Structure 1
Amino acid sequence: MESDSSGETSSFFDVAMGDLLADFNAPEPFPSYDGPRDGPFADPNSPGFQDYNATDAVNPSEMLIDSDEYMNEEDAKDDVVNIDPDQSVPRADDFEKMTELVLYPLPEQPPTLEYATSTWEIENWKELPRRARGPIFHAGGHPWRVLMFPNGNNVDYVSFYLEQAYDEAELPEDFTCCLQFGLVLWNPEAPWVYVTHTAHHRFTKEEGDWGFTRFVELRKLWAQPYDETGHYLAPGQKASMTAYVRVLKDETGVLWHNFNNYDSKKETGYVGLKNQGATCYLNSLIQSLYFTNAFRKAVYQIPTQNEETLQNSAYTLQRLFYQLQSSNNAVGTNELTKSFGWETRHIFEQQDVQELSRKLMERMEEKMKGTDAENVLSELFCGKVRTYISCINVEYESRRVEDYWDIQLNVHGNKDIEASFKDYVQVEVMNGENQYFAGDDFKLQDANKGVIFESFPDVLHLQLKRFQYDIDRDAMMKINDRYEFPETFDASAYLADDADKSESWVYQLHGVLVHHGDLNTGHYYAFIKPTKDGWFYKYDDDRVTKATLREVLEDNFGGEYIQPNGQVMKVRSKPVLRQNSAYMLVYIRQSRVDNVLLPVTEEDIPSHLQKKLDEEAALREARKKERDEQHLYINIKVITDETLERYGGTDLTNFDSSPDQDPAAPRAYRYLRKSTLGDLAKTVGEDTGVDPRRIRFWGMVNRQNKTVRPDVPLPDRLMTVDEAHSKTSNSKGSDMRLWAEVAQEVDAEGEGIWPATPGPNGAARTDLIVIFLKIFHPETQSLAGAGYIYMNRDQKVEDLVPAILKKMNWPDKLPSGERTQLRLFEEIKPTMIESMKAKQTLKAAELQDGDIVCFQLANTDNKPESDSTAQNSKPSPTNSVKNSWTTADGTLSKGSPEKYELAPMYYEFLIHRREVRFVPIDTTSGIEPFTLVLHAKYSYDNIAMRVGEQLGVDPTHIRFTTANQSSGKPKAVVKRGQNQTLQTILNPPYTAYINQNTPRVDSLFFEVLDMSLSELDTKRSLKITWVSEGITKSDSYEVLVSKSANVEDVIAALIKKAGIDDEVKGGPIRLFEVAQHRLSRQIDRNLLVNSLSEYINIMAERVPEDEIGFEDSIDIISAFHFQGEAKNSHGIPFRFRLIPKEPFSETKKRLEKRTGLKGKNFEKIKFAVVKRSSYTKPLYIADDQILDDLITQEEDLLGLDHINRSRSVRNGAQDLFLK
């Protein structure tokens, strides 16, 4: 969660500065000014000083009625200060002194261009108009004047503002001027009586006036005298108003900018990066790498033309760099983070920038191998450091040279970079008990130990250690100490004596990456200098602004707030520390800067990348245009004869399907609302090869039973599409759904002749209705559309048979002489398929336009001779769109569902059909995934039988595992049970309460076992973690043993499963129960497995040699890993043998061997004795202490305190990774 960097400024200021910053949206709280706002005293301890209520500086059109918190009480002290004229204090008529008083130093310290002063002599106060204006004066090349509301701007205070004085026609379009100004109302007869208010503002064309709604209470102008001599502020309705103006240089173009309509590209030439949630740390790093031009050029050289996939991080980084180079707006990083393999949660977790930088470099290095840029990154960012131990009294030295990509500098205890480097290379003297063993020749010797640099890279990344573990607070803390860094520094002082110093090692600052906030929350941004001699710019997510050197350096040193007057800002006597400070610095070697910041031109960008992104930009523009014109168009979906014949599901079509994926989908059009139905008919006719004059559209409506059927014909071709939609739908924003009827006969002019003549209101006549037909083929288990027919409502259901036979071109008699008989069903809705009564009239059967009748042959053993011909002439799933279980010859394939003889049974199957993808759980098995169509009510055995048929294996040996809905990986083994169905397996009941919007995962993992499931039921499955190589390597295995077996049998099974040496050859093996990363108990070898918990975590290892024979000794303790607090346990626990009187310095050597942890990973570990209670504070162990003496109770543990490498140090997120 990122914190807002602006915040409230008033809480950091004395009341006297309330006006100064009332409207300033600062990136951080600024220090206060110690002098008064009202009255002549610069010292608050001076006689006569009063602390006054704040008065906000505002535009006169805003805040006309101020809140009650600003209202003075009747008897409250006045804002006017009455000063003895004999005192040595500024008088209002001493303009030079008053300028110093009113226009005090600003936190931003902008350069001054000009000072100006103007006095307005106000007379006849009560006779002034509601708005009065003073004389015009000039400052900064612009005219100014004071705007006055003598009777208040809707408040009981006189209001004064400073405004630009241009005539409306003469006001420049780009008018901008930054001013600090003070307004002083004073008594011309007693100039030591006055009221002052000060503010600053960026005056623009939109905000041309600024000032104070509550300058001074009206009743206190002349109602009573203010001193013993009887002086008033405005005696005789007369007063003087002096405006003091300081014109400031806006070096960056954003001084006090409100950033409304701010265009980074226009103002700076650069664009920012969008923040996805908490990716500001990523944005600052990406901008830094982008402006390391040699790095950008090298990234462009990675060949990606054959791998243009958004899973390729090199390709997405190329895309991001190109967009930063060419876009006019802020660029998103979504593609890049997705290519890293990050999920949504990762973009809301602030990661470690150093780790991210290093892993990104490693990934790009891999991608650059074998290219022209293969060694570019190491040449740019990699230096060499020497670790040495040099004997003082003999000629013996041990040294090791390593590469480094960045340098971590200590901030705490160091004032600047120079001090940190000295700290880094300081020499440690090894003497006394810490002497160095210099081999058999020299034995123990005094020696110097340290590190020294052999070389620095062209681009030097300095990681400032702002976040460190505080052992006193027992927590990670951010270090806000002041830490200075220069614009240039000479690194040669930290090079080895034999290093090459023929070329200058002076470095110049290129980038400052900043963190604003505390340990847990904050915001990241960067200051970067894109060119050798240009400006620094601030890259704050999507905003880019020019920055001054003060903003780059002083503002990011951290430490205490230093006010413009040089004093330290304090709150309750405690110094206020800056929340923003640099945490990473980028320096470039001055002699190599031209090689690093070399120009990156269009020629450097891969041509395929430009082409791809230009195409995407054009597509985005087209989509934008489409969205902008969306209100002019309507989406229309049209059912044609082809749609009806190809569709094999319920209802007439699936309106949600796409023509690109489903040949039975309706045709989709995006049409102008003002177009006519005649225009639409021409388009549909061209697509279907039908004369548009033969096309008549029917509007389709939603029925109450949730079906969509044709309802009313739309014969008027001149009717607009919008009118037709309004006629057939109540929702203007919905898609328009139509059926395109094609006339079977035409008149002499080629116009279609329609069976049902429309009535006066456009509705079809009631004597004829249109009925849609479907045919069910039991032999191929398929359903297909068979067109439509018109019937008189007074006809009977049995009259449908000859009409259907004629439609299908079937004879009325079979070759045997038997009459052709049909079974008729009405498809009322997908879940209601009813058999029709032959003697019932269509009217009595409540049939109407758009109803569906499904038929099938009643005597299927003796088909009509023309049946095959009819089917060939009428497209159906049998000869056009095959079901997934139908082979090319029309027979049922292996793994198909059971055969349904009647249409209602098949309809019921369609409702419950599930296409399930079966994936082998063992990816090395060589079995390809496959898909089967199954009934949702299938039992476990039914599913296994279908899969067994597909694989050609015994179904009793097949075990299924569900898939995780988010990751798609195996989740849980499916238990074979009587009540278990495919529906409950794929969608267990509890998922209904988790997330109704989660997409259904119709997939199962399977494995073919060596035994039947019945036999498996007699076995016990145990998951065991096998630990080896100390505790640095772990592998998980699942072993099966008899439920009557003991732990001895488990060990034997593990040896076989893991393929490891038996106990005779490799050594004895022991098992532990592990809970919360601690050893709970050692599991007895004679224990029966049935007595073990179902959810037990088991760890297995060989017994270390030094523990053989001591396993039951009190000299064996348990050890575990934790981070910071004992409750934050992690890693693999272990047992360890104690040796009496052994110094811990020697114990650590055995611990290093026992754990297998080496080098820096082991050196960073802090060891502690931890009591069993989670709330006990660890007792850290010194090298001269004896561990055996510190263990006082049997429950005491040895704790290894170090960073959990599987989690982030700062926020507990999982370890940062890049795919």
Structure 2
Amino acid sequence: MSYNNDIHSPNEMVVDTDEYVGGTDSEKEPIAIIDPDNLDNGAEQLQDLPLANDFDAMKDVIFPHLHEEPEVLEDVVNTWTVEAWRSMSKKEHGPVFQAGGFPWRILLFPHGNNVDQCSIYLEHGFEPTNIPENWSCCVQFALVLWNPNDPTLYTHHTAHHRFTKEESDWGFTRFLELRKMFNVPWEGGSRPLCENETANITAYLRLVKDETGVLWHNFNNYDSKKETGYVGLRNQGATCYLNSLLQSLYFTNAFRKAIYEIPTDHEESMGNSAYTLQRLFYQLQTSEQAVGTNELTKSFGWETRHIFEQQDVQELSRKLMERMEEKMKGTPAEHVLPQMFSGKIKTYISCVNVDYESSRVEDFWDIQLNVSGNKNLLDSFKDYVQVEKMDGENQYYAGDEFKLQDANKGVIFQSFPNVLHLQLKRFEYDIQRDTMMKINDRYEFPETFDAAPYLSEDADKSESWTYQLHGVLVHSGDLNAGHYYAFLKPEKDGWFYKYDDDKVTRATMREVLEENFGGEYKTHPANHLRAPLQKKAPVVRQNSAYMLVYIRQSRLDNILCPVSKEDIPLHLRSKFDEETALREAKRKEKEEQHLYIGVKVITEQTFKNHGGTDLTSFDADQADGDAAPRSYRVLRASTMEDLVGTIAADLEQDPRKVRLWVMVNRQNKTIRPDQPIMDLRPTVEEAFQRAAAHRDQFLRVWAEVAEETTPEGEAVWPTYQGQLNGVVVKNDLILIFLKHFDVEAQSLYGIGHVYISKEKKVEELVPIIMKKMGWGEKLPGDEKISLWEEIKPTMIEALKAKQSLKAAELQDGDIICFQKTTERKGDRNILEKRLGLGDKQAAEEPAKKADRFDDAREYYDFLHNKKTVKFHAHPTRCNAERFPPFELVLNSKISYDILADRVGEKLEVDPTHIRFWTVNSATGNPKTTVKRGVNQSLQLILNPSGYNQLSSSQRTDAFYFEVLDMSLAELDTKKSIKITWLSEGITKEEQFDLLVAKNGHIEDLIQVLVQKASIPDETEGGRIRVYETSSHKFYRELSRDYPVISMNDYTNVFAERVPEEEINDEEATNFIQVFHFQNEPSRVHGVPFKFMLVEGEQFVDTKKRLEKRTGIKGKSFEKIKFAVVKRSHFSKPQYLNDDDELWKIATNDDDYLGLDHVDRTRTLRNGVGDLFLR
């Protein structure tokens, strides 16, 4: 018997399910690992397999357990006896039978559906025209092929499918190899399966209830809003749990209502997080499609990495709440969030035999529960509030009055919030692997639970503390890769829905609970009957709940209150109505786009205002003003006469005075006028098809305005006027555009166009130019006018004065550039040498500024290679107030030295004292220093050669700069060290970049630090020590004779005064390394340090020394919890009491003292910033 098969529709539709899909090779792969010791037992089990005609017994074999466990509506069995198998046509249908009130039949390809195996499918039996609208039916089915004369001989395949109008059939393309069916004894028997070309095909149908409407759905063309009434959030990158958390908060209706009450009508800014959250909630409430979160994350100042780098949803949730609470101050919603999400917890130590208790009460916004070691939610709560006995050597010191006493230590809740957020600790540090790991253990949570047992005795219990499950946030995958989604219950008595990014589906309680408990999949007994010899390792679920949301049952109506459109601020609705109207207009424009065509028009004014090559840049934006072409959107069916009228009205001209020239792409990639459009009767579409190249998206024209008119107002055109037998012919005048290079102004601009006979000589253009420029009739004796043809930006050729325009191959639309030149001896040779055009022995070029151009050809070269480069002072190495940002337009061919000269001139500093840094394109931070190279051009610096990661990750238009105290040559003898000076314990950090001689020692580094930081030297201020840290942990102290060159580039370096207590006790040898963490030792932060241990000192006194050592004072210090963290039990810190002795508890050299407190001062020291909200 074979259990491997291919599941297909006849149209090769493949079912993606590991449970059913097997290999596609003709040879069956082994499906079981058989243990020789169990072989006899397996043989006995095989003998117990039912006969093919024992239909009820067969069901236990052929139907595997479905993990969805849907309700079975009906079982139907139907057998079709197939005769004369080899004589059948290519495609055959079995008789129609009924199941679930619907017609069904077997579809058979007896000779194979394009394969050398018989193909068998199940399909519905509706006539194509009689299929009910939106019909679907979920069926688990099996097809059994068996010998009617010997029912012990059979093979079968099983699948399940959602049958619809579009997917009307499903089954097995490779059901059985044809060569095994006939004249070959079937497995274990003496007869073939298809004996005398006759066989039975039995179809087993198990129709199941589609409770959610999406059972086995392929989600093609699925509409969440239509099917559920809700929309999802688009997945816009690695947003992790953000979408799930936002959906959870949105469906906490009282929270949504409170967000709407924040006044934002005077701050409708995308930088206002409250406003963008209102917008997001409004869209979720009104949109027909999934909503994006980019506006919100940008308003918070988040990049993708800020969310992705966080390991739990707790911090994100807390910061979001804190920010919204700030926004609500002074509004009607000021106290809503604490009342909704905040409870109170008491930490206590209570003496058993005397009336003495030490306690403190704090607010909490969520509860972190241990998963590891607990079977369910109630176990976790019991673990959370369990009492620790303090007796024997661990007695509690109850002050001078009661001394040492037996005591109970623990925490107890005084109240729970209306909305209870429970964070399940699915991710924990694994000491063996030295990394964070996901805990996939089975962990159950109920639909309702009573929180009263975890409240203190004096808590108010007049109202029930029963909680109802409202949301389950799920992570599927492992620590490094996974997917997040949520199950939420929007209405008190409604369904749970699955919110999986942009898709929303109805969910069963099994999906909400059982499938998110984690642990191993349950093995169903029926599966063992199907494959008794097959041994499989248990499969562990990868999806499990990591956050639960419960709502107090007695407050459900208040929390899930209805939120209507009237609750949404009017200004928000108005704003969205405007945006909706704008989107609708754009949508309509897009729909009608095929009816319109874009026309770009250049005029005389456009040419005159354009300061670059060619007549204009057709890529220019309208923001460029008159230098940009005018853009029009016209109907393709309109006539050219209509277009002329539109353009003339825009130019405030009589349409008769406006003539349009078609602009064409020349082979040299320039765009020039080619010929005027004389016939205005054709449509714009026809004109476009005649004139435009196949890649053109616009019709491009030059609008010429006539300079002369007849008394009747008709235009007089200098060319294309002759008529010969009704055909327009051209005279010998050609259209030439003139540009002037102004040497003094260092500018190039158009002055207009002229018509001139192509038989005229080039020198005859000079009087025309002088008249247009107002230069009189004659230039001074030492001045001349030089003329060049602008063939293309990189080809500027001199024109010979005595040559005719025809001989110079000038034609309509060509551009001639001119400039005044002063002829001096050697000038021509100098220019030719500079441009590589002439005698290399010519005179040397006199010194001049690098950005000064005396010749138009030089200026054209500059235009072709010019680049606007932004310069910013280095954020940590340069004074940004003294050196504000600036831009320079530079030739990309210039060398490093010229670049330094230009920047030095701008900054008014010595160019040899400037160091440049490239800019990281992803972060905008400084990337690497630029090394000076003699033959290195600006282009090569900004665009490193080769297709490497370096070139693709740096900006190509910007530098950071640093003004040095020394030249770059001297700098090469120094080592750059970034050091943090701790002047007030560890509370004040000052960063300095030091340059220390590479052959120096720590002693030298300290001297440089004293000078750079302007602090008292060691004689006056006390001894200084230097130490390194790594990952916020103390790494090593550097001796004063330690070589600077050997310092690690990948650690952080700190310097501090040696504490007095260490100086006073020179013989002290016992120290402990101290680090900071938040909640879990793996979540480190802050500045680590080493701390002296004192034998026999109670921790209450140790804390006083720690307060002085750290410089943390007042309430901030009081909030710190202290713990010994042993490397062998790193994830389980041992928290300290006032009467503990640190000396006795921290007994190993690698023990740490951990300071557990909130990280409020994260820096970018290690390249990872805090998750912050604007």
Match in the other structure for 2:831: none
Q: Which of 611, 614, 619 is the matching residue for 1:651?
A: 614
Match in the other structure for 1:839: 802
Residue 1001 of structure 1 pairs with residue 961 of structure 2? no
Which ranges of structure 1 fall in alignment gaps of 5 or more residues?
1-13, 31-53, 57-62, 74-82, 861-895, 949-953, 1171-1177
Alignment partners' CA distance in 2, 1:172 and 1:482: 44
Match in the other structure for 1:1026: 981
Match in the other structure for 1:584: 547
Structure 1 residue 409: deviation in Å? Answer: 0.9
Structure 1 residue 140: deviation in Å? Answer: 1.5
Equivalent residues of 2:7, 2:172 under 8 A apart? no
Q: Where do 1:359-374 residues align within 5 Å?
A: 359-374=319-334
Distance change in 2, residues 1:1068/1:172 (3 Å): same
Structure 1 residue 319: deviation in Å? Answer: 2.2
Q: Mean Cα displacement is larger for which, 605-614 or 1018-1027?
A: 1018-1027
Residue 1166 of structure 1 pairs with residue 1122 of structure 2? no
Match in the other structure for 1:390: 350
Q: Where do 1:508-523 residues align within 5 Å?
A: 508-523=468-483
Q: Which of 1092, 1107, 1115 is the matching residue for 2:1062?
A: 1107
Q: Which of 383, 386, 392 is the matching residue for 1:426?
A: 386
What secondary structure is seen at the aligned counterpart in 2 of 1:168?
A: coil
Alignment partners' CA distance in 1, 2:512 and 2:465: 23
What secondary structure is seen at the aligned counterpart in 2 of 1:170?
A: coil
Q: Which of 104, 125, 141 is the matching residue for 1:144?
A: 104
Residue 700 of structure 1 pairs with residue 700 of structure 2? no
CA deviation string 1:683-725 (max 9, x = no partner): 2111111222222222334445554333333333234444544
What secondary structure is seen at the aligned counterpart in 1 of 2:1025?
A: strand
Q: Where do 1:174-573 residues align within 5 Å?
A: 174-185=134-145, 195-213=155-173, 223=183, 241-343=201-303, 345=305, 351-565=311-525
Amino acid at match of 2:607: L
CA deviation string 1:791-842 (max 9, x = no partner): 122222332122224434564269x9x9997554544444555665443433
| Identical counterparts, % of pairs | 55
CA deviation string 1:390-449 (max 9, x = no partner): 011111101111111111111111111111100100000111222111112112211100
Match in the other structure for 1:853: 816
Amino acid at match of 1:362: E
Structure 1 residue 121: deviation in Å? Answer: 5.2
Which ranges of structure 2 fall in alignment gaps of 5 or more residues?
32-42, 824-848
Structure 1 residue 1070: deviation in Å? Answer: 3.2
Structure 1 residue 931: deviation in Å? Answer: 5.5
Match in the other structure for 1:678: 641
Equivalent residues of 1:163, 1:209 under 8 A apart? yes
TM-score of the two chains, using structure 2 as the length reference: 0.81
Q: Mean Cα displacement is larger for which, 360-369 or 394-403?
A: 360-369
Alignment partners' CA distance in 1, 2:305 and 2:808: 58
Equivalent residues of 2:107, 2:122 under 8 A apart? yes
Q: Where do 1:1030-1069 residues align within 5 Å?
A: 1030-1031=985-986, 1033-1038=988-993, 1067-1069=1022-1024
What secondary structure is seen at the aligned counterpart in 2 of 1:661?
A: helix
Q: Which of 772, 781, 794 is the matching residue for 1:807?
A: 772
Amino acid at match of 2:740: I
Amino acid at match of 1:260: N
Equivalent residues of 1:986, 1:1002 under 8 A apart? no
What secondary structure is seen at the aligned counterpart in 1 of 2:644?
A: helix
Distance change in 2, residues 1:839/1:598 (3 Å): same
Match in the other structure for 2:563: 600
Structure 1 residue 766: deviation in Å? Answer: 7.1
Amino acid at match of 1:605: I
Structure 1 residue 324: deviation in Å? Answer: 1.7
Equivalent residues of 1:825, 1:853 under 8 A apart? yes
Equivalent residues of 1:410, 1:420 under 8 A apart? yes
Match in the other structure for 1:772: 737
Alignment partners' CA distance in 2, 1:153 and 1:982: 65
Q: Which of 942, 950, 964 is the matching residue for 2:919?
A: 964
Alignment partners' CA distance in 1, 2:167 and 2:716: 72
Equivalent residues of 1:177, 1:203 under 8 A apart? yes
Alignment partners' CA distance in 1, 2:84 and 2:526: 45
CA deviation string 1:71-120 (max 9, x = no partner): 999xxxxxxxxx99xx9985555555455555564322211223334444
Structure 1 residue 667: deviation in Å? Answer: 1.2
Question: How many positions carry a matched residue from both structures?
Answer: 1108
Residue 68 of structure 1 pairs with residue 23 of structure 2? no
Match in the other structure for 2:841: none
Equivalent residues of 2:300, 2:1172 under 8 A apart? yes
Amino acid at match of 2:423: Q
Match in the other structure for 1:756: 719
What secondary structure is seen at the aligned counterpart in 2 of 1:274?
A: coil
Structure 1 residue 597: deviation in Å? Answer: 1.0
Structure 1 residue 201: deviation in Å? Answer: 2.1
Alignment partners' CA distance in 1, 2:1036 and 2:168: 75
Match in the other structure for 1:786: 751
Q: Mean Cα displacement is larger for which, 87-96 or 293-302?
A: 87-96
Structure 1 residue 749: deviation in Å? Answer: 5.6
Alignment partners' CA distance in 1, 2:534 and 2:409: 45
Alignment partners' CA distance in 1, 2:1046 and 2:51: 96
Structure 1 residue 489: deviation in Å? Answer: 0.5
Equivalent residues of 2:6, 2:174 under 8 A apart? no
Equivalent residues of 1:822, 1:856 under 8 A apart? yes
Distance change in 2, residues 1:1101/1:711 (3 Å): same
Alignment partners' CA distance in 2, 1:1010 and 1:231: 98
Structure 1 residue 352: deviation in Å? Answer: 2.2
Amino acid at match of 2:957: V
Q: Where do 1:930-969 residues align within 5 Å?
A: 938=898, 940-948=900-908, 964-966=919-921
Equivalent residues of 1:470, 1:477 under 8 A apart? yes
What secondary structure is seen at the aligned counterpart in 1 of 2:676?
A: strand
Amino acid at match of 2:167: E
Distance change in 2, residues 1:820/1:218 (3 Å): closer
TM-score of the two chains, using structure 1 as the length reference: 0.78
Equivalent residues of 2:1122, 2:1153 under 8 A apart? no
Structure 1 residue 526: deviation in Å? Answer: 1.1
Equivalent residues of 1:1079, 1:1133 under 8 A apart? no
CA deviation string 1:600-652 (max 9, x = no partner): 11112233333333433443444444445555544332210111222233332
Equivalent residues of 1:1168, 1:1199 under 8 A apart? no
Structure 1 residue 311: deviation in Å? Answer: 3.1
What secondary structure is seen at the aligned counterpart in 2 of 1:662?
A: helix
Match in the other structure for 2:132: 172
What secondary structure is seen at the aligned counterpart in 1 of 2:382?
A: helix
Q: Mean Cα displacement is larger for which, 467-476 or 754-763?
A: 754-763
| Alignment RMSD | 5.3
Amino acid at match of 2:347: T
Q: Where do 1:84-123 residues align within 5 Å?
A: 95-99=55-59, 102-103=62-63, 105-120=65-80
Equivalent residues of 2:912, 2:967 under 8 A apart? yes
Q: Mean Cα displacement is larger for which, 256-265 or 1142-1151?
A: 1142-1151
